[in-house]
Amino acid sequence: MDIIPYGKHEIEKEDIQAVVDTLQSDFLTQGPKITEFEENFAAYTGADFAIAVSNGTAALHLCAIALGVKAGVKVLTSPITFVASANCILYAGGEVDFVDIDPHSYLIDLHKLENKLSKAKPGEYSGIIPIDFAGYPVNLEELKNIAKKYNLWILEDACHAPGGAFKDSMNRYQYCGNGNYSDLAIFSFHPVKHIATGEGGMITTNNKDLYEKLLSLRTHGIIKHTDLLEDYHGGWYYEMQNLGYNYRLSDIQASLGISQLRKIHKNIKRRREIAEVYNNGLRSLNITLPIVAEGNQHAYHLYIIQTKERKELYDYLRANNIFTQVHYIPVHMQPYYRRKGWKIGDLPSAEDYYSRCLSLPMYPSLTANEQDYIIEKIKAFFHE
């Protein structure tokens, strides 16, 4: 069997043609494909506005700035995420604090969050970054109720979860990134994600003021709209009104994103089919499978199992050309954060999860034969 990676992009003829068409057009960057991608993505998520940026980390950084993170500002997040979810606060000069995860959903534990906030000084925390981890949605309605009580903004990290959804108290599906319960949400278009543009990211929001601020921050803090200028010298004139960054996405990447977005429903449907095959094939083993609570829709960026024999299973599968992965080493256990005072034992649920978690191959082009082979080898490891 050839090597089976844990994740893999899927580029088809129409994707290639979309990029070729842009390469042959008048714009390689700062052209019409950016706006088209943004409008299409906003429509997909149900948000009012979308801002395309160079990657998911850039999206987080710009959101932190737009939300007013600076020295003296403290923000809460989950330790089970990629380090960028926490680092973005440090980039803007703020301070990060962590809330342990729910051991069943692997999401930030809302009960532990409220307990932590109830013991904090009034105004000690300014915001929270929940993670729709592995594609499983945080119940943002419940989180919003907590956030209102303590005057926190919400920046939803939905990098894993386009297409993920939970049912609110009115029995309506609330899709990740729709902006109904968060101030801002961010997505990533890294090759192993649902939409691949090589590198790239998107911010969604229903807040027009934040939207306009982010448009400027994305491009050096520059403003060109005449009604927003402090002065005007002619058609060439622009003003740098704030310190911003060059975090733009190119038209080449946006054209690929537009093409990929057209296939996202098929992509997610296939991911859910793969998850169901894993569920059926592995449920008899002494391992923990992902949960999906009634009313939730999992986007399955990752399919994560837990076993006390994680290292042995990882090595065994790798020896059989099945390349699994671990998502993630808890952020507070990284040397940089340990130097800030965090230590093993601070977040026991996250640490216990890390000791046993393993991400199995999950991508739409995974074949039935490949998945059967993966399940067969896992069963063989457990002697079933």
User: Domain check: are 191 and 230 in the same one?
Assistant: yes
- Give exposure, 338-359, as e/b (b: 16+ Cβ within 10 Å): eeeebeeebbebbbebbebbbb
What is residue 298's predicted lDDT score, i.e. its pLDDT? 98
- CATH of residue 329: 3.90.1150.10
User: Domain check: are 349 and 252 in the same one?
Assistant: no
User: Domain check: are 280 and 233 in the same one?
Assistant: no
Domain assignment of residue 295, yes or no = yes
User: Domain check: are 41 and 59 in the same one?
Assistant: yes
Query: Which of 214, 240, 261 is the endpoint of a domain?
Result: 261
What is residue 228's predicted lDDT score, i.e. its pLDDT? 86
Contact 47, 206 (CB under 8 A): yes
- CATH of residue 44: 3.40.640.10
Quote the domain boundaries for residue 37: 13-261
What is residue 383's predicted lDDT score, i.e. its pLDDT? 86
pTM metric for this prediction: 0.97
User: Domain check: are 239 and 336 in the same one?
Assistant: no
Domain assignment of residue 6, yes or no = no
User: Domain check: are 116 and 219 in the same one?
Assistant: yes
Residue 372's contacts (CB-CB under 8 Å, 6 or more residues apart) are 281
For the stretch 272-275, contacts whose Cβ atoms lie closer than 8 Å and that sit 24 or more positions apart, written own/partner, are 272/298, 272/300, 274/300, 274/303, 274/362, 274/364, 274/366, 274/371, 275/300, 275/303, 275/362
User: Domain check: are 83 and 42 in the same one?
Assistant: yes
User: Domain check: are 173 and 217 in the same one?
Assistant: yes
Query: Which of 261, 287, 307 is the endpoint of a domain?
Result: 261
Domain assignment of residue 82, yes or no = yes
Domain assignment of residue 135, yes or no = yes
User: Domain check: are 153 and 17 in the same one?
Assistant: yes
| Separation between Cα atoms, residue 80 and residue 330, nearest integer Å | 5
Domain assignment of residue 8, yes or no = no
Report the Cα 340 to chain-centroid distance in Å.
25
Residue 110 phi, psi dihedral angles, 5° rounding: -70, -30
Going residue by residue through the chain (384 aa), what tens digit of pLDDT does each one get?
899 999 999 999 999 999 999 999 999 999 999 999 999 999 999 999 999 999 999 999 999 999 999 999 999 999 999 999 999 999 999 999 999 999 999 999 999 999 999 999 999 999 999 999 999 999 999 999 999 999 999 999 999 999 999 999 999 999 999 999 999 999 999 999 999 999 999 999 999 999 999 999 999 999 988 888 899 999 899 999 999 999 999 999 999 999 999 999 999 999 999 999 999 999 999 999 999 999 899 999 999 999 999 999 999 999 999 999 999 999 999 999 999 999 999 999 999 999 999 999 999 999 999 999 999 999 999 987
User: Domain check: are 24 and 62 in the same one?
Assistant: yes
Helix (H, G, I), strand (E, B) or coil at 101: strand
Domain assignment of residue 348, yes or no = yes
Domain assignment of residue 1, yes or no = no
User: Domain check: are 27 and 63 in the same one?
Assistant: yes
Domain total of the chain = 2
User: Domain check: are 270 and 250 in the same one?
Assistant: no
- Closest by CA position to 50, among listed 190, 186, 196: 186
Domain assignment of residue 51, yes or no = yes
Query: Which of 261, 286, 316 is the endpoint of a domain?
Result: 261
What is residue 239's predicted lDDT score, i.e. its pLDDT? 93
What is residue 371's predicted lDDT score, i.e. its pLDDT? 98
Residue 328: asked if its preceding bond is cis (omega within 30°), the reply is yes
